[in-house]
Amino acid sequence: MSKLDTPLDAEHLAKLAERVARLPAADAEWVGILLEEVLRARAHEAALLAGRLSGGQGRAQLDGELDDESAQLILDTAAWLKALWNDGYMGAGNFRSSPRSDFPTIDLEDVRKSSLFARIRQGKCALPFAPPTRHGLPWHELLDGETHAVEAEILHDETGVPLAAIIEACAEWQVVAERIPDRQYLVQHQGKGPVYRLCLDGSGAGELRREPPALTSTIALHGREGFHGYTLEWRADDGRTQLVPLRAATWERAESEAEHWLAKRHPEMYGRVRFELRDE
């Protein structure tokens, strides 16, 4: 059997992912996309094989074949490395260098403590814009909808109108609306992503929680000849409906892909739209 007929093992694929990170920026993007697609196909192949070999034999593995967990880990690592390359070590908009010449140095603590890598491992897409920060560190947990105790301060203009907020030492929050004077505000980070309700107690302490989506968009499920797919139906500003194919095999993945498309195309609406399923 020639080398071309022998599947690449996990170690070899991981080395390829590292080499992609060292390519010039112009090449790293398209090679990274190609590698991700190869890994996705490998993971799909492994899933099909596991289904065929299940039963009396238990979970069989061919020599050199990646199991589902290993394949998904490589896919997630490739997505993380791609985000670090495209957006910078701390996220888009931070420490940008163009053109980028050196890939960020990563050690074991970075892997263990990276909230971005943890987000990707949970099946969520990396944001195409910087998340809020908490004392200088990316605050991805804030996107999950829980209520967080915070220290915050509202900044006003010369007439007393609230304009911005400093929340957990991050001064990039905008005031969308004042619900209760000096007590309750709707805020948004850099004009992108979800809107949050900030409730203050008058002493600088308070709570920050994500507002539920106010708009609804439809994701259609199409089935034909044993295959199915998902399409986001997005209503544009001119009233026309844009059909966006989603690379997804499950509803959870379709919803995640739709949110990622929204984050890239309409970042001001990310987190403000709920999706409903229509089975055709």
Angle at CA 214, nearest 5°, toward 210 and 219? 105
Strand partners, 227: 224
- pTM as predicted: 0.55
Cβ atoms 132, 170 nearer than 8 A? yes
Burial class (CB in 10 A: 0-12, 13-18, 19+), 11: exposed
Task: Please tell me the number of Cα atoms within 13 Å of 91 on its side-chain side.
Answer: 17
Mean pLDDT in residue range 28-37:
73
User: Could you read off the pLDDT of 111-150 as tens digits, one per residue?
Assistant: 676 667 777 777 666 676 778 899 988 887 887 778 999 9
> In the predicted model, what is the mean pLDDT of residues 238-254?
87
Taking residues 59-79, report their average pLDDT.
Answer: 61
- pLDDT number for residue 172: 93
| Rounded Cα distance, 167 and 173, in Å | 7
pLDDT at 32 over 50: yes
Instruction: Assess whether pLDDT exceeds 90 at residue 217.
Output: yes
Residue-wise pLDDT for 177-204, tens only, equals 999 998 999 999 998 888 999 999 988 8
- Domain ranges in the chain are 3-121, 147-210, 215-279
Give DSSP secondary structure letters for 169-186: TEEEEEEEEEEETTTEEE
Q: How high is the mean pLDDT of the chain?
A: 77
DSSP 104: P
